Amino acid sequence: MSNNTTWLSSYIQNTSNWMMIRLTFYFTGGGSYVAGTGVQMWWLKDIDGAGGGYEDGATGSPGLTPGRAPDYFFPYENDGSAQTQIVELPWPVGYSKILLYVNSTSGYTLSAGWTLKGLPFTPQQ
């Protein structure tokens, strides 16, 4: 993905009422790293609960960034090597999509082969 571009997933269905998801984001890139830049991530939630429509950001080519703050931010590290970042986040119930935005003032791009994988779970009390 090039600098200042977006990627929009197909819909993701959480109808088993999982509370959390562990996301693993693996990527390498090209260009110069600049502190404070990285990949922004939004959960785009379904409007009607049936996968019929999504909040702002789920349209466009492939998606426009919503007006609200990102749900998570994957920062770039300064060493330029392959990076694996793992985060545990609340997972919206029902249907949602993930929107990623490559935010870099240095022209940094994600190389082909980047992956974003999820493992749902519910914490045990």
- Token pair listed for 58: 């789920």
**Residue 77 and residue 33: Cα distance in Å, rounded?**
7
pLDDT digits (tens, 9 = 90+) for 54-72: 777 655 555 677 888 899 9
Q: Is residue 90 part of a domain?
A: yes
Task: Tally the domains of the chain.
Answer: 1
Domain assignment of residue 96, given as a range: 6-112
Residue tagged 């990627």 (tokens): 7
- Token pair listed for 110: 């994600």
Burial class from Cβ neighbours inside 10 Å (0-12, 13-18, 19+) for residue 8 reads buried
The pTM score is 0.83
In sequence order, what are the beta bridge partners of 72? 41
Q: Is residue 63 part of a domain?
A: yes
**Residue 76 and residue 28: Cα distance in Å, rounded?**
10
Look at residue 2 in the predicted model and tell me its pLDDT: 76
Q: Is residue 42 part of a domain?
A: yes
Look at residue 6 in the predicted model and tell me its pLDDT: 84
Q: Is residue 75 part of a domain?
A: yes
Q: Is residue 22 part of a domain?
A: yes
Q: How many other CB atoms are found less than 10 A from the CB of residue 105?
A: 12
Look at residue 105 in the predicted model and tell me its pLDDT: 65
- Tens of pLDDT along the chain (125 residues)? 777 788 888 888 888 889 999 999 998 877 666 777 888 999 988 877 666 677 776 555 556 778 888 999 988 876 667 889 999 999 988 888 899 988 776 667 777 788 999 999 998 86
pLDDT digits (tens, 9 = 90+) for 42-54: 998 887 766 667 7
